Amino acid sequence: MSHNFHNHLHRIWEHSVGLYKAGQTHSSLFPIDEELPLLSSWGIKRIDIFDFAEDWCLHQEPDFSTFLLVHYERWRFFSEEQKGVPSSVVLDPTTLPPREEEFCGIAWLPRILPKARAKLRGELPPEVMYCCGGDREFFKANNIHPAEFLAVVRSLDDRDEAIIDWVVKRKSSLA
């Protein structure tokens, strides 16, 4: 990553939001081919850019700062854990827990865990977005930033109970 990673991502974000607003609303045809080599070197895909630009245009969230921080966590995992080698695995969306499933009374938590792991690894399929509307509701309800959750999932690895305990503590601190 260069010292101006954030500037490159901001330029790409602004360009992508403009493209979406101008009618480029098909993810597979999203015309950012000239950016793909740079994005790929950071472990970021076309769909990552499209999804965040689309949701910003339609819902005014997630904002650029969230986009930047989430993809900074992705880049860290890509460079440090994956050593710059993309995963060949793609999450099967049918394996995601149902939207209504809960852990310790916390809605969406069973679903967000595999999504966060897949986001870190670059294994989300095009039809699944990390930080979608359901994810954003989970984050708001539990006072968690999406990038913070990625960092916690990364640091606690596959220890679901530790992650669940962390979320429960965070949620209880809101009361």
Whether the per-residue pLDDT at 73 is higher than 80: the answer is: yes
Same domain, 106 and 125: yes
Indicate the pTM of the whole model.
Answer: 0.95
The separation between the first and the last C-alpha atoms of the chain, rounded to the nearest angstrom, is 40
95 and 79 inside one domain:
no
pLDDT recorded at residue 1? 61
Q: What is the pLDDT of residue 4?
A: 87
- Total number of domains constituting the chain: 2
Same domain assignment for residues 49 and 122 = no
Give the number of C-alpha atoms closer than 13 A to the C-alpha of residue 56, restricted to the C-beta side. Answer: 21
Query: 3-class SS at 107?
Result: strand
pLDDT score of 175:
58
* Pair (140, 150) in one structural domain: yes
- Domain shared by 74 and 96, yes or no: no
Among 8, 115, 14, residue whose Cα is nearest residue 64: 14
Do 153 and 97 lie in one domain? The reply is yes
Instruction: From 86, 104, 136, give the residue that closes a domain.
Output: 86
- The Cα–Cα gap between 43 and 120 comes to 9
For the record, the structure tokens of 39 come out as 């994005």
One domain, residues 77 and 121: no
Residue 109, token pair as written in the block: 């938590």
Give the tens place of pLDDT for each residue, 118-151: 999 999 999 999 999 999 999 999 999 999 999 9
Total number of residues shown for the chain: 175
Q: 97 lies in which domain range?
A: 87-175
How far apart are the C-alpha atoms of 135 and 138, rounded to whole Å? 5
Dihedral sign computed on CA atoms, order 153, 157, 160, 161 = negative
Q: Are 125 and 115 in contact (CB under 8 A)?
A: no
Does one domain contain both 62 and 42?
yes
